Structure 1
């Protein structure tokens, strides 16, 4: 086993594209329960009440859907330079940007499937306005109780045409560790779960059964307990939000989950996530067989077909 690398501190934010910007914004603010922290151009910056950074979701109006980019914060300025050197040697770099409303300069690069990643260190720490100041000084923003009202961004999932190539990319470019994976009967990797810190995972890549490339599967925000996920199901029901699957418990990672589609069709999850921590420094990946996965989720719920085919943008 190679020495663990902690140059990358944590998942910071996603930029999600929507061709229904007003409807999507209403969903994320009034139903899902995020808070707007800023606007610039065609983008609205959103956050959960205990995200410490300025934003964790950048919602951008577009003629399509899916993920525009994902940002990770490094553990230091020097760590950022070390990662950039490795990425440039890999030949997948795009180049430096001047930054964004929520953070300083960043370095962008592409996964083998074309997903755009960025790394940054200088960031804008959220300062709550008077109406959002918490009573407790150790959280970023007051708990407002609006909609689902998740605590923080937790993880995301991308679809890939070759998960094995992604595994090599993530471990080299970000220094990620593989915590769990699915090995199909034909020898291909069907899915892979990665972490850059001691969480169970911050990103999962699963095989795209549609034949597409570079597509988005879902974004997940964490709530404190399972009861919050059940409450979210009722909130979605009352607001006419399409529930795709759940509430239920995943076999892989043990996450208690609920999946819905926001108005533009991007998949969004609410989860009681983050309870499992990978504290063991010599952790070996847990490998699941195709037969084991065919049994369904932890309590027997079968994985629905759309979970392997629905992604954004849609495949023409």
Structure 2
């Protein structure tokens, strides 16, 4: 009998990253990727892309090292929030409730088996554009920015994990994520897995940490909509001295056109040129790649990936280079 699917989590709502170079990181997302900084409080800056409907989708917090602060998921209802909290508490992964944050109401915080901090909320603040940023395109929250090559919306996050399968199973059992694609090792464990609660191939991806560290971030991702924009932003990145790790390529997994860059704080940022394919089948069968096919799974065509792509994450550890 098919196990009843959980529909309590709607999507990835926002991400907090740490940066030891706060203002430089903000400048990168604002001037190159065209995002807006919509609020500042303490050592945190709240930012958004122009087709994000919520108040913010990115929080950059000043910290002594780069990495993930937390990722935030929106529930599908107040009742769904309470159901997921009850399940997480049964598993012993809970941290507890917070009253809320800029842009959303009370939230329940918890940790993945690997130690990544997460939260779920329901009440949210929708973005209200000031008069000079309102657009006659009524289904867009604000005008398209006229700086940089502006990204359109938050897409996904990729987490590194010491024990991949434990984290994949947690996302499935505690939160209702479905594994859309995976790469399997010879012993049938996950080298990496791409999971979603939405129609995307992945809202969250889990990759094995080559350094066997815990709780690290591989990358965050924003979506452009047109592959041409990857070439456009590459010019801006090069001319302004930013490091491109991987020039525009196409993945096998997800079929997405993309590229990878480092923001000044040291975190890796993926930029999607299109969304690959979307999933509407409620009985979707997980696509399974053999480890021997990992090259095609990760890189369908384009520039060869550097070895550090599979090793570098944030926070940086002594076994890998520091990004300046």
2:120 aligned residue: 119
2:314 aligned residue: 312
Deviations 1:21-50 (Å, cap 9, x if unpaired)?
Answer: 111111111112110111111101000001
The Cα of 1:299 is off from its aligned counterpart by 1.9
Instruction: Please give the residue correspondences for 1:274-313 in structure 2 after superposition, counting only pairs within 5 Å.
Output: 274-295=275-296, 297-299=299-301, 301-313=303-315
Consecutive unaligned residues of structure 2, counting only runs of 5 or more, are 319-324
Supply the distance in 2 between the matched residues of 1:175 and 1:265 (Cα, whole angstroms).
Answer: 31
Instruction: Please give the residue correspondences for 1:99-110 in structure 2 after superposition, counting only pairs within 5 Å.
Output: 99-110=100-111
1:139 aligned residue: 140
1:62 aligned residue: 63
Supply the distance in 1 between the matched residues of 2:84 and 2:218 (Cα, whole angstroms).
Answer: 26
Instruction: Please give the residue correspondences for 1:114-263 in structure 2 after superposition, counting only pairs within 5 Å.
Output: 114-263=115-264
Supply the distance in 2 between the matched residues of 1:116 and 1:315 (Cα, whole angstroms).
Answer: 19
Tell me how large the CA RMSD over aligned residues is: 1.2
Deviations 1:207-265 (Å, cap 9, x if unpaired)?
Answer: 11012110011111001111111111111111111000120100111110110001111
TM-score by length of 2: 0.95
Supply the distance in 1 between the matched residues of 2:236 and 2:115 (Cα, whole angstroms).
Answer: 35
Supply the distance in 2 between the matched residues of 1:59 and 1:21 (Cα, whole angstroms).
Answer: 7
Supply the distance in 2 between the matched residues of 1:273 and 1:72 (Cα, whole angstroms).
Answer: 23
Supply the distance in 2 between the matched residues of 1:305 and 1:109 (Cα, whole angstroms).
Answer: 32
Supply the distance in 2 between the matched residues of 1:299 and 1:51 (Cα, whole angstroms).
Answer: 30
Supply the distance in 2 between the matched residues of 1:160 and 1:189 (Cα, whole angstroms).
Answer: 11
Contact 2:248/2:303 (<8 A) preserved: no
Q: Which runs of 4+ in 1 moved over 6 A?
A: none
Supply the distance in 2 between the matched residues of 1:73 and 1:112 (Cα, whole angstroms).
Answer: 20
The Cα of 1:15 is off from its aligned counterpart by 0.5
Contact 2:199/2:279 (<8 A) preserved: yes
Deviations 1:112-170 (Å, cap 9, x if unpaired)?
Answer: 10000100000111000122111211111110132120110000101001111011100
Supply the distance in 2 between the matched residues of 1:222 and 1:294 (Cα, whole angstroms).
Answer: 23
Contact 1:232/1:270 (<8 A) preserved: no
1:3 aligned residue: 4
Supply the distance in 2 between the matched residues of 1:139 and 1:190 (Cα, whole angstroms).
Answer: 38
1:97 aligns with 2:98: yes
TM-score by length of 1: 0.97
The Cα of 1:89 is off from its aligned counterpart by 0.9
Deviations 1:33-68 (Å, cap 9, x if unpaired)?
Answer: 110111111101000001000000001011111001
The Cα of 1:198 is off from its aligned counterpart by 1.5
The Cα of 1:272 is off from its aligned counterpart by 2.2
Supply the distance in 2 between the matched residues of 1:145 and 1:77 (Cα, whole angstroms).
Answer: 38
Contact 1:109/1:117 (<8 A) preserved: yes
Number of residue pairs the alignment of both structures matches: 316
Contact 1:181/1:193 (<8 A) preserved: yes
| Secondary structure, counterpart of 2:53 in structure 1 | coil
